């Protein structure tokens, strides 16, 4: 075989390989599009978006990009910006599919404000994750802003565009290139590389079947969006009513009916949580699939995956330790259904405590009536604002002024002290708060437990956990008699010597009845 024949044969082999590769890609895309459509029909829209993003990684075709952006925009409606701190990136907390648009909201806000330092710091962080076509529109939007003319921002912008890769609108980048001052020649050359990458990009050609599948999914998304738009005013009114008057069950039931008609899983979730015998397995299944979306309106101040739901909406959340670095986030209307906050060691110092106590005065937090794991510093600040809290758990109470401050809480009737010293029980019992308390609990891990319930037949109940803390419990029992001396139920988990028993009997003699 002569040289020309060998070249011709090699060319045909190359063409054949390319055809086979194109066929394999088409098969992969069609499978992913079919799965995306099926997920969308089941109202598992995040799953559908994931399949589209996988398709984009196979072939960066414009129809796939448009579908992914369209579906992501739908899912982002009602979400709050995720203005995360540096610790978010350091801990590498698992990301959710819809974290990206929320983080991009925050990035764009900083860029619009002309915050060059923050914008330049945030953009490279997106290179730590897989490339995503949803990054391109915000990056091009930043390229149109004056902040893009800063050398650090420009460098970060070029780096992230290289990471994501084409397609992107090179005309926007040409315009940025023309605005750059002469002193940025080094970064201008880097931008030129990005522009050449974009200009050289050749869009893949989709076969007829793939194009048809894209069109079917696009029409389905359009149809559902149009249907939701027709009832959006009613839905928003119902949500506003639920957030403003969370005790109104009728609004939740009407909303559930409307959502069921639309196929929205929140409708089924509300109905299941109202059932006399709830299907806990199905409730858990719905939570696993939708928890992130249903928690997201509360913003980035809460620990994800920890909210407890009742009647379809979050009622108890755990605060995030690192969020104070971002200042005072404004609670949105969705906080109206929240009744309990677990402070999770947040605000242990005076500065954060002052800020968070002010945050708690927001009208959207008027439903918060229970707080757990509250630091002594934060607890001292609560009374300054006459908050509606009824039940409060304070960690490590030590100072007399704490109980003076808590006495200013007009609705507080249940106080819990964890890691409490006997002196804290005595201080509380002697304070002006004590006569208003219907329930008082205190404990010291590994030592003793105390519970005072004025409505119980035997109001005071105490347990000695360790024989080494007999004298501590004696002090506690003497103080607790100031709450009520009608009756005491005392139990010991350890055998005591005669001296210890005598000391406990002397303290118990303050009570009219001892069990």
Residue 83 in contact with residue 300, Cβ under 8 Å? Answer: yes
Establish if 449 belongs to a structural domain.
no
Regarding whether 302 and 171 lie in a shared domain, the answer is: no
pLDDT band at 22 (very low <50, low <70, confident <90, very high): low
Residue 311 in contact with residue 330, Cβ under 8 Å? Answer: no
Tell me what percent of the residues of the chain surpass a pLDDT of 70. 92
Regarding whether 306 and 181 lie in a shared domain, the answer is: no
Establish if 394 belongs to a structural domain.
yes
Task: State how many domains the chain has.
Answer: 2
Average pLDDT, the chain: 90
166/199 Cα distance (integer angstroms): 9
Domain-ending residue, one of 428, 443, 458: 443
pLDDT score of 25: 84
pLDDT score of 19: 42
Establish if 217 belongs to a structural domain.
no
Domain-ending residue, one of 401, 418, 443: 443
Nearest Cα to Cα of residue 148 among 108, 91, 182: 108
Regarding whether 318 and 190 lie in a shared domain, the answer is: no
pLDDT digits (tens, 9 = 90+) for 229-274: 999 999 999 999 999 999 999 999 999 999 999 999 999 999 999 9
Regarding whether 437 and 302 lie in a shared domain, the answer is: yes
pTM score of the predicted model: 0.81
Q: Which residue has the tokens 């409307």?
A: 258
Q: Angle at which helices 62-76 and 208-244 pack, to 10 degrees?
A: 10
Establish if 210 belongs to a structural domain.
no
pLDDT score of 85: 56
Regarding whether 437 and 304 lie in a shared domain, the answer is: yes
Regarding whether 304 and 188 lie in a shared domain, the answer is: no
What pairs with residue 310 in β-bridges? 313
Establish if 237 belongs to a structural domain.
no
Over residues 396-403, the mean pLDDT reads 84
Domain-ending residue, one of 177, 200, 223: 200
Establish if 258 belongs to a structural domain.
no
Q: What is each CA distance from 269 to 42, 52, 157, 260, 265, in whole angstroms?
A: 15, 27, 42, 10, 6
Neighbours of 280 (CB within 10 A): 9
Establish if 93 belongs to a structural domain.
yes
Return the structure tokens found at 446: 């590994």
Establish if 313 belongs to a structural domain.
yes
Regarding whether 432 and 305 lie in a shared domain, the answer is: yes
What CATH code is carried by the domain that includes residue 361?
3.80.10
Regarding whether 408 and 310 lie in a shared domain, the answer is: yes
Name which of 29-38, 440-449, 450-459, 487-496 the model is least confident about: 487-496
Nearest Cα to Cα of residue 194 among 167, 218, 219, 222: 167
pLDDT digits (tens, 9 = 90+) for 130-147: 999 999 999 999 999 999
pLDDT digits (tens, 9 = 90+) for 274-332: 999 999 999 999 999 899 889 989 988 898 889 999 999 999 999 986 554 445 678 99
For the cut 80, the answer to whether the pLDDT of residue 195 exceeds it is: yes
Nearest Cα to Cα of residue 454 among 425, 417, 420, 414: 414
Name which of 22-26, 210-214, 314-318 the model is least confident about: 22-26
Regarding whether 303 and 183 lie in a shared domain, the answer is: no
Task: Give the domain extent around 94.
Answer: 86-200
């Amino acid at each position: 075989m002569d040289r020309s024949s060998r070249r011709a044969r090699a060319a045909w082999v190359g063409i054949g390989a390319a055809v086979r590769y194109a066929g394999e890609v088409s098969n992969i895309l069609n499978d992913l599009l079919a799965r995306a459509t099926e997920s969308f029909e089941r109202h598992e829209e995040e799953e559908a978006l994931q399949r589209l993003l996988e398709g984009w990684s196979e072939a960066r075709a414009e129809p796939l990009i448009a579908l992914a952006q369209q579906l992501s925009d739908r899912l982002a409606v009602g979400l709050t910006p995720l203005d995360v701190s540096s610790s978010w990136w350091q801990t590498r907390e698992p990301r959710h599919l819809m974290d990206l648009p929320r983080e991009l909201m925050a990035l764009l806000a900083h860029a619009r404000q002309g915050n060059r330092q923050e914008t330049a710091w945030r953009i490279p962080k997106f290179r730590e994750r897989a490339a995503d076509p949803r990054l391109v529109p915000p990056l091009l939007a930043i390229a149109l802003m004056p902040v893009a003319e800063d050398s650090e921002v420009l460098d970060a912008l070029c780096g992230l565009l290289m990471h994501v890769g084409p397609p992107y609108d090179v005309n926007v980048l040409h315009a940025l290139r023309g605005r750059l001052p002469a002193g940025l020649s080094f970064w201008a050359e880097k931008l030129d590389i990005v522009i050449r990458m974009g200009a050289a990009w050749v869009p893949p050609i989709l076969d007829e079947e793939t194009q048809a599948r894209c069109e079917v999914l696009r029409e389905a998304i359009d149809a559902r969006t149009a249907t939701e738009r027709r009832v959006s005013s009613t839905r928003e009114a119902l949500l506003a009513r639920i957030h403003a008057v969370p005790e109104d069950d009728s609004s939740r039931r009407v909303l559930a009916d409307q959502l069921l008609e639309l196929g929205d899983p929140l409708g089924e979730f509300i109905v299941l949580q109202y059932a006399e015998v709830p299907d806990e397995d199905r409730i858990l299944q719905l939570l696993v699939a939708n928890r992130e979306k249903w928690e997201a309106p509360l913003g980035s101040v809460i620990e994800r995956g920890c909210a407890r739901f009742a009647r379809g909406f979050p009622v108890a959340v755990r605060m995030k330790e690192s969020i104070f670095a971002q200042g005072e986030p404004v609670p949105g209307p969705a906080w109206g259904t929240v009744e309990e906050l677990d402070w999770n060691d947040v605000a242990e110092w005076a500065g954060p405590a002052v800020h968070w106590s002010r945050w708690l005065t927001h009208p959207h937090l008027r439903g918060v009536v229970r707080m757990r794991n509250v630091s002594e510093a934060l607890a001292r600040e609560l009374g300054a604002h006459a908050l509606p809290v009824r039940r409060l758990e304070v960690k490590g109470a030590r100072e007399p002024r704490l109980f003076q401050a808590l006495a200013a809480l007009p609705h507080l009737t249940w106080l819990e002290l964890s890691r409490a010293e006997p002196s804290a029980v005595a201080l509380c019992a002697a304070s002006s708060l004590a006569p208003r308390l219907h329930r008082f609990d205190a404990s010291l891990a590994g030592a003793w437990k105390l519970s005072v319930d004025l409505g119980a037949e035997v109001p005071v109940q105490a347990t000695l956990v360790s024989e080494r803390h007999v004298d501590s419990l004696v002090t506690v029992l003497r103080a607790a008699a100031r709450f009520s001396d009608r009756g005491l139920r005392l139990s010991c988990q350890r055998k005591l010597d005669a001296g210890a028993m005598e000391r406990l009997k002397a303290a118990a003699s303050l009570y009219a009845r001892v069990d």
